[in-house]
Amino acid sequence: MNIVLHLLNIIQHQSEQIAFLLKFIRKFIPISQWVHDDSKSPKYQKFKIDKLPLIVPFFKQDWQFLIAYYEHKYGKKIDPVHHRGGRSVPEDKVCPVCGAPHDYLYDNNGGRGQYQCKVCGTTFIDGSIHSKPIKYKCPYCGHVLVPVKNRSCFRVHKCVNNKCSYYRQNLKKVSREHSLEKYRYKLHYIYREFDINFFKMDLTSLPKNTSSLNFSKYNANVMSLCLTLHVNLQLSLRKTAQAMNDLYGIRISHQQVANYARAAALVIKPFVDTYDYGASPNMVGDETYIKVKGVKGFVWFVMDAASRSILGYRVSSDRGVGACILAMRMALQHFRKLPEKFRFVADGYSAYPLAAQQFYLNYGKDFDFDITQVIGLTNEDAVSKEFRPFKQIVERMNRTFKLSYRGTCGYDNFDGANYSVALWVAYYNFLRPHKHNGYRVLNDLDQLAGADNMPAKWQILILLGQDAILRMQQPPSA
């Protein structure tokens, strides 16, 4: 009997040791598929953002100056090409780089249209126009990048040199058992060149064909009541119309409620977007799913981590980087130069580092910042553990936003989604009491201090929006 108890104790002790070792392996020792240290999925590596390439600008040169310089420096003269075998270059061919005539051009591939200039050494193809302003080179090996893919708003350039140090270093990380599946990993250097300049898009353009605020049947008080029920109390359009009839005896259609909401959003949006929130140097961004007629869409939010005000937002039909750049531009529009300890926290999606890279390309060192990425749902690295509270702030706001619309079918169209999000952001920043702020609003407005009810506050926000539109319509000199 004692032997049985002794064996049971040994088995229990071994099971505890095995559980401890499994937990230790799971936490500290990577599994074979975790060959890259920043993600568990090999497919995720394809979205990794590399550093900027070496940019070589194109300069038009003079062939006569190059010949004179070569003779002055080396004491030798560049003679015209002596063609052999009776072959010659047509007289209308000139070098696209230095302009050397046909006498200084080699027939580089036996009459199949490729030529090489003896003066500058440029190899070109017959009929090609040397109009590309810049040339991209790999920052690790110096080889010229090759365009391999065209996307909706950018072109992918790739370093195809198999002797590149970047490629060899990543290749060593792939285990032998996964060597046949190395195509699943991102091994080569990649750069994305944007075809659309999202920094020239106007963020403050006024909407066209807006609804009039001249009321033929009802007045501004009815409109503000509809906004209170629809936005504050999160009622649908039909339930808002029913509540107006049940509470106040006002028979109004749900389409009229939608017209009121659209008109109010178009007027209030310029004030909300251009308001100076006095942002702190800590911002956090995230994207969440919405539905438009049952089809998945996205809304991007950028928040101030200190005051928790929404500084930038954008609704898009896809998860491309363009909407991310526009939302970040809206959040950073009041900065002429980023603070010294500026930090932007986001999840592991590649759109945020790519957007930060575009800020540096367009604005220079004044907007040079890195993205602090909180990856996954558990704290598996020190960065995620330290900055997880920042990510939880925006996730909590996303849950609050999801309560404001019906997730079953969502919005009717993307225009309606934009109007609804604009109204909700105005309510969240200026009218909604927040528990973490002592049940006070995030941004106190002096104009709202005298309003004793919510419909009056909506009317004041509409008035502030009208004033913002008038200021935007004035010429810069005024």
Residue 236 has pLDDT above 70, yes or no: yes
Say if residue 430's pLDDT is above 70.
yes
The pLDDT assigned to 29 comes to 55
First to last CA, the chain: 99
Going by pLDDT thresholds of 50, 70 and 90, the confidence category of residue 180 is: low
Strands 343-346 and 282-292: parallel
SS3 string, the chain, reads: CHHHHHHHHHHHHHHHHHHHHHHHHHHHCCCCCCCCCCCCCHHHHHHCCCCCCEEEECCCCCHHHHHHHHHHHHCCCCCCCCCCCCCCCCCCCCCCCCCCCHHHEEECCCCCCEEEECCCCCEEECCCCCCCCEEEECCCCCCECEEEEECCCEEEEECCCCCCHHHHHHHHHCCHHHHHHHHHCCCCCEEEEECCCCCCCCCCCCCCCCCCCCCCCCCHHHHHHHHHHHHHCCCCHHHHHHHHHHHHCCCCCHHHHHHHHHHHHHHHHHHHHHCCCCCCCEEEEEEEEEEECCEEEEEEEEEECCCCCEEEEEEECCCCHHHHHHHHHHHCCCCCCCCCCCEEEECCCCHHHHHHHHHHHHHHHHHCCCEEECCCCCCCCHHHHHHHHHHHHHHHHHHHHHCCCCCCCEECCHHHHHHHHHHHHHHHHHHCCEHHHCCECCCCCHHHCCCCCHHHHHHHHHHHHHHHHHHHHCCCCC
Could you report the per-residue pLDDT of 38-91, keeping only the tens digit for each?
A: 444 444 455 577 888 887 776 778 888 988 988 888 888 888 888 776 677 888
Please write the tens of the pLDDT for every residue from 341-375: 899 999 988 889 999 999 998 898 999 999 999 98
Please write the tens of the pLDDT for every residue from 13-48. 888 888 888 777 766 654 444 444 444 444 445 557
What structural domains does the chain harbor?
A: 57-125 (no CATH), 141-194 (no CATH), 278-411 (3.30.420.10)
On the question of pLDDT at 428 being above 50, the answer is yes
pLDDT at 58: 66
**The pLDDT value given to residue 377:** 76
> 114: pLDDT confidence band, cut at 50, 70 and 90?
confident
Q: Taking all residues of the chain, what is their mean pLDDT, rounded to a whole number?
A: 84
In this structure, are residues 199 and 421 in contact, taking their beta carbons and an 8 Å threshold?
A: no
Strand partners, 311: none
Average pLDDT of 449-475? 90
- CA 390 to each of CA 40, 210, 295, 385, 386: distance values in angstroms, whole numbers, following the listed order: 22, 38, 30, 10, 9
Query: What pLDDT is attached to residue 38?
Result: 42
Its pTM stands at 0.73
